[in-house]
A = this chain, B = another copy of it.
């Protein structure tokens, strides 16, 4: 679809105005507010054209125009200019990361919080992980007579804990020895690699190894890492969600991990780091997201550790600003990951 410059201008202005007012935009309002050099009648004609193209729609015969989902899509695809975030905003965000605790979990929580606050919408961040679970370190801690706590550290900083009950009591010294042995031998191995080492261990060692392998398999089976959410209440202040049943559908997809993993798996999981994906109105596939838009990005180190992050808000969303924010936070996290979690 090829639009004239004037049509592009009018579409842009209508979207801009509608994002602010949340109301249908009329031709004369537009001319008045933006000091257009042509008259409202001209605007009306162009509006009629844009409506024919499917980019605008009228809630009813004698109302102003509202952008359709296709209208937003055209806007995001062709008209939105990727403006960088203002310098002082960027500085504030960087500063927050700089002075937070030096811990991935903390960074991910902070990223979610920053996204939520900057975009005034709900945000999500998933922990970075590699396609294969790679062993880094194991620790075995005696807790009580026949019980031990296994702490497994994976590449990417993911930590898994698991209680194990043994047949017979065991001393911490013996445990430490096994843990050291495992940590040393299995270093940088994937599941298969660890399985191959099995014969080298005694009975107890093999029991531990089974738990270890099981944990790593579980990690690989789940498509995303730990999920951090923030700003769920932000979307509740948007007028389109004033009847809260609408909001319920939208937020439910965030709260239900399986739904969210599905969404991420079929969109951003196989996209490139650095790229931004914008889902508008569920794109016909996601019934629960019919009233929302989602801006998603992938961050991390393309070949090793990646995670997703994004923002969920109403379709009437300031896409330029949101895209810039998501993009910037993704970059910050990518930097942190490659500086701290690389091979």
Contact = CB atoms under 8 A, between A and B. Distances in A.
Nearest to A253: B233
Interface in A16-53: none
Given A143-B340, A247-B236, A341-B143, A103 B137 contact: no
B245 A232 contact: no
Contact of A176 (B149, B180, B218): B180
Contacts of A157: 149, 161
Contacts of A230: 255
Classify chain A: how many residues form its interface, as a range. Answer: 35 or more
A260 interface: no
Given A104-B161, A137-B139, A245 B255 contact: no
A102 interface: yes
A21 to B, nearest CB: 19
Given A157-B161, A236-B248, A242-B243, 6 more contacts: A104-B161, A136-B141, A137-B139, A139-B153, A237-B245, A241-B244
Given A141-B153, A244-B242, A236 B251 contact: yes
Contacts of A340: 143, 147, 163
Contacts of A241: 244
Contacts of A252: 233
Interface string A97-108: 000011111000
Contacts of A248: 233, 236-237
Given A103-B163, A161-B105, A237-B248, A137 B141 contact: yes
B251 A233 contact: yes
Contacts of A247: 236, 244, 247
Give the oligomeric copy count.
2
B162 A159 contact: no
Interface of A: 101-105, 136-137, 139, 141, 143-144, 147, 149, 151, 153, 157, 159-164, 176, 180, 218, 230-233, 236-237, 241-245, 247-248, 251-252, 255, 340-342
A149 B230 CA distance: 27
13 contacts: A103-B162, A136-B141, A137-B139, A137-B141, A144-B342, A159-B161, A232-B232, A233-B252, A233-B255, A236-B244, A242-B244, A243-B244, A244-B247
A186 B79 CA distance: 61
A4 B288 CA distance: 51
A178 B231 CA distance: 42
A168 to B, nearest CB: 18
Nearest to A102: B163
B153 A102 contact: no
Nearest to A179: B139
Q: Which 6 A-B pairs have the closest CB atoms?
A: A244-B244, A236-B248, A102-B163, A236-B244, A233-B252, A233-B248
Given A153-B151, A255-B232, A103 B245 contact: no
A171 B239 CA distance: 58
Contacts of A103: 160-163
Contacts of A176: 180
A198 B239 CA distance: 59
A102 to B, nearest CB: 4
A101 B244 contact: no
